[in-house]
């Protein structure tokens, strides 16, 4: 908390909502560890998501389904230690909240108590309404997540754009309204048509945070490792790479290997 850093003004869910009222776009990124979370926070990002995409990015799984609540708490704890300013949101992982609202509350409380994070994110609309209400009632801020919801990938079978059909778009609109009505402080919209994002964002007072959802979301989120170009294989259309760390890291490590083989490292100056 700010006890240790009285000069840094913390970003609260209220500050996030005020950014929307002021018409200022919100920047969000994922982080899963201490070292990168420090950089993301210091660079001025307002929301840091400890995403269950850690299942893919950190652990190498095909989907987000295998990551456990304990593993999410480990990542969240590391990120919270690093962050002085940003709002930290933690994904409730698959299987930790869908069953019933008591399970959802227990999972959210474990995250808040053990990691020191400031809020949680839950995927889905009407299907998880009671779980979200229960978590909110304990005073835990909740961010919703609609559109492409990777925890239900096996229900849909693909990562294609969601809500292109009128009935699905209508349901998404209703879900978004519902999430606002029950008290969510924001909602992620993933991989839906830009026109639908515009419509939802204009009809809600809480901010929308888009990923593959076009320019009219109130904020944008990307997976940090994607933005940094660490993984070359993942290249959906919505991803903009701001660096090519894949090549930079590969070259640096290759150079190190060469130096060791050639007895160029360590030098006399690097020895005792």
Binding site residues, ligand KIV, CB under 6 A:
30, 49, 51-53, 91, 188, 190, 211, 221, 223
Q: Is 191 in the site for ligand MHF (CB under 6 A)?
A: yes
Say how many C-beta atoms besides its own lie within 10 A of residue 4's C-beta: 7
User: Is the CA virtual torsion 80, 186, 152, 128 positive or negative?
Assistant: positive
Interacting residues with ligand MHF between 17 and 56 (CB under 6 A): 53, 56
**Residue 70 DSSP symbol:** H
Give me the catalytic one of 166, 180, 190, 270.
Answer: 190
Judged by beta carbon, residue 82 or residue 213, the one nearer ligand MHF is 213
Binding residues among 100-119 for Mg ion as defined by CB under 5 A: none
If you ran DSSP here, which 8-state letter would residue 11 be given? P
DSSP per-residue letters across 96-126:
SSSS-HHHHHHHHHHHHHHH--SEEEEE-SG
Strand partners of residue 188: 145, 209
Cβ contact 61:72 at 8 Å: no
Residue list for the binding site for Mg(2+): 52, 91, 123
Specify whether 18 is catalytic.
no
**159, 242, 256, 265: which one contacts ligand MHF (CB under 6 A)?**
159
For residue 149, the partner it binds in ligand KIV, Mg ion, ligand MHF, none, with Cβ less than 5 to 8 A by kind, is none
Which of 50, 51, 78, 93 touches Mg ion (CB under 5 A)? 51
HEC assignment per residue over 155-221: HHCCCCCCCCCHHHHHHHHHHHHHHHHHCCCEEEEECCCHHHHHHHHHHCCCCEEEECCCCCCCEEE
Q: Residue with CB nearest ligand KIV? A: 51
Of the candidates 46, 91, 175, 180, which one interacts with Mg ion according to CB under 5 A? 91
Which one of ligand KIV, Mg ion, ligand MHF, none interacts with residue 159, CB within 5 to 8 A by kind?
A: ligand MHF
Among 29, 45, 57, 112, binds ligand MHF (CB under 6 A): 57
Does the footprint of ligand MHF cover residue 64 (CB under 6 A)? Answer: yes
Which of ligand MHF, ligand KIV, Mg ion, none does 221 bind, CB closer than 5 to 8 A by kind? Answer: ligand KIV
Cα 92 to Cα 104: distance, rounded to the nearest angstrom: 8
* Least separation in angstroms between CB 56 and ligand KIV: 8
Long-range CB pairs of 1-10, under 8 A, 24+ apart, other chains included: 5/84, 8/84, 8/85, 9/85, 10/84, 10/85, 10/87
Q: Binding to ligand MHF by residue 242, rule CB under 6 A?
A: no
Which residues define the annotated binding site?
52-53, 91, 121, 123
DSSP class of residue 51 equals -
Binding residues for 3-methyl-2-oxobutanoate, as ranges, are 52-53, 91, 121
Which positions are annotated as active-site residues? 190
- Which spans of this chain sit near ligand MHF (rule: CB under 6 A)? 53, 56-57, 64, 150, 158-160, 191, 223, 225-226, 234-236
């Amino acid at each position: 908390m700010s006890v240790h850093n009285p000069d840094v003004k913390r970003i609260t869910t209220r500050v996030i909502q005020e950014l929307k009222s002021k018409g200022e776009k919100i920047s969000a990124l994922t982080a899963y560890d201490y070292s990168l979370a420090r950089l993301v926070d210091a660079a001025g990002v307002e929301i840091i998501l400890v995403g269950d995409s850690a299942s893919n990015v950190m652990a190498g799984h095909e989907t987000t389904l295998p990551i456990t609540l304990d593993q999410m708490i480990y990542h969240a704890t590391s990120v919270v230690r690093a962050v002085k300013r940003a709002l930290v949101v933690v994904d409730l992982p698959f299987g930790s909240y869908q069953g019933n609202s008591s399970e959802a509350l227990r999972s959210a409380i474990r995250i808040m108590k053990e990691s020191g994070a400031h809020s949680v994110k839950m995927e889905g609309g009407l299907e998880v309404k009671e779980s979200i209400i229960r978590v909110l009632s304990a005073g835990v801020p909740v961010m919703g997540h609609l559109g492409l919801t990777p925890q239900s990938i096996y229900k849909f079978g693909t990562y294609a754009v969601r809500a292109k059909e009128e009935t699905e778009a209508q349901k998404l609109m209703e879900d978004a309204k519902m999430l606002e009505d029950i008290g969510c402080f924001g909602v992620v919209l993933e991989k839906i048509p830009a026109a639908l994002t515009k419509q939802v964002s204009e009809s809600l007072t809480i901010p929308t945070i888009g990923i593959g959802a076009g320019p009219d979301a109130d904020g944008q989120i990307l997976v940090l490792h994607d933005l940094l170009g660490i993984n070359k294989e993942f290249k959906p259309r919505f991803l903009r790479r701001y660096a090519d760390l894949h090549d930079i890291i590969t070259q640096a490590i290759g150079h190190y290997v060469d130096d060791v083989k050639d007895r160029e490292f360590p030098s006399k100056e690097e020895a005792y």
